Amino acid sequence: MAGKLSIDNFWAVIPAGGAGTRLWPLSRQTAPKFLRDLTGHGRSLLQETYDRLHPLAEGRIVVVTGAAHQHAVHEQLPALGTDGLLAEPSPRDSMAAIGLAAAVLERRDPDAVMGSFAADHVITRAKKFTEAVHTATAVARDGWLVTLGIAPTFASTAYGYVRAGAPLAGHDGAYVLESFVEKPSAEVAQRYLADGGYRWNAGMFVVRPSVLLELLETWHPDFAATLRAIAAEPARMGELWPLLPKIAIDNAVAEPAAEAGRVAVVPADFGWDDIGDFDSLATLLDAAMKVDSEGPTVLGDHSLVHSVDSTGLVVPHGGRTIAVVGVEDIVVVDTPDAVLVTTRAHAQQVKQMVAGLQREGLVDLT
């Protein structure tokens, strides 16, 4: 796009949480997927998110992560500094994480507009992303809570959807949000895709911090007050943080605000993927590496993988030779202390395996 990339008073907030259990054993509680290089580019998902946002925010970036990961985040992003990292004592879901950043930024910059972008998403069309953020920021300055609606590429049942309503006056490329829609059945998802008016809800929000907290105050006044108290007196974090409810930003603010006519959507098409499981990872890597149909896709040292009449995804992170013979769409993930063997069709069930390991007391493996 023409002109400068940097946006005045724009702050990028990166919530970096979640264990990514469907990507076990590659993703663990101690080393979740956002700290991993899952694209083969030599940068973790967190680092790639930072790289994408830095030109827009010119250093005005805040990462919100768990206390257990703050050292690793600092190691991967040394330019952040102490003011650029907020550490949560315990997980309280996305409203607490994003709300904490909003409360801090409300005090730090009265003219701030913040954009929240998860640390573990992949975006392949940076220019389109930049254009969407510029549009969303202009809308947010006028007091709207703005979500980026991702153009669906297939009838997904794994994502929630948003439906755009009437065009937003004074803002080309933006619409009043008509509704949020929960994850649909396959039949309903197909109707959404054919309709053309529905977009995936990727949880990307752009808003003035004061507006977000005012909306939160409308439906959860104690929640907003506690976040502001923590921002005013950071030393009280340990005392006040456990009082915050565990609730997602969609449920706490976005959905009721949409019903009240306070939410806008900017439709966007910038090659988005949340890498929810090994099937989506294989699809992403196949497209990025432009591989042919001979042999499985490999994330890691190709010399360790030998195949005959096989397809799928192999992740050789254990240093051992892996041989696959006569299997289609297999997934093999080899790490020093655990090996996963499944198929792309069963990739969503990996989360159940992790839950089983935890029930059996094998927490160190998860």
Q: What is the pLDDT of residues 10-43, one digit of tens each?
A: 999 999 998 889 999 999 999 999 999 999 999 9
Domain boundary among 220, 242, 273: 273
Give, in order, the Cα–Cα distances in Å from 144 to each of 9, 203, 206, 259: 16, 15, 8, 13
Domain match, 158 and 287 both: no
Residue 4 lies in a domain: no
CA angle 147, 11, 52 (to 5 degrees): 80
Whether the Cβ atoms of residue 218 and residue 263 lie closer than 8 Å to each other: no
Omega before residue 25 within 30° of 0, cis: yes
pLDDT tens digits in sequence order for the chain, 366 residues long: 445 799 999 999 999 998 889 999 999 999 999 999 999 999 999 999 999 999 999 989 999 999 999 999 999 999 998 899 999 999 999 999 999 999 999 999 999 999 999 999 999 999 999 999 999 999 999 999 999 999 999 999 989 999 999 999 999 999 999 999 889 999 999 999 999 899 999 999 999 999 999 999 999 999 999 999 999 999 999 999 999 999 999 999 999 999 999 999 999 999 999 999 999 999 999 887 755 558 999 999 999 999 999 999 999 999 999 999 999 999 999 999 999 999 999 999 999 999 999 999 999 999
Q: Domain range spanning residue 319?
A: 283-365
Domain boundary among 247, 273, 299: 273
Domain match, 331 and 267 both: no
Tell me the pTM.
0.94
Q: Which amino acid is at 187?
A: E
- Give the tokens for residue 268: 């966007």
Domain match, 199 and 344 both: no
Return the pLDDT at 240: 98
Query: CATH number for the domain including 110?
Result: 3.90.550.10
Mean pLDDT of the chain: 95
Domain boundary among 273, 308, 334: 273
The count of other CB atoms within 10 Å of the CB of residue 167 is 12
Sheet of strand 297-298, all strands in order from the earlier edge strand to the far edge: 297-298, 312-316, 330-334, 339-343
Report d(CA 24, CA 33) in Å as an integer: 9
Report d(CA 164, CA 253) in Å as an integer: 18
Return the pLDDT at 3: 55
Domain match, 302 and 174 both: no
Residue 292 lies in a domain: yes
Whether the Cβ atoms of residue 231 and residue 103 lie closer than 8 Å to each other: yes
Domain match, 38 and 158 both: yes
Q: How many domains does the chain have?
A: 2
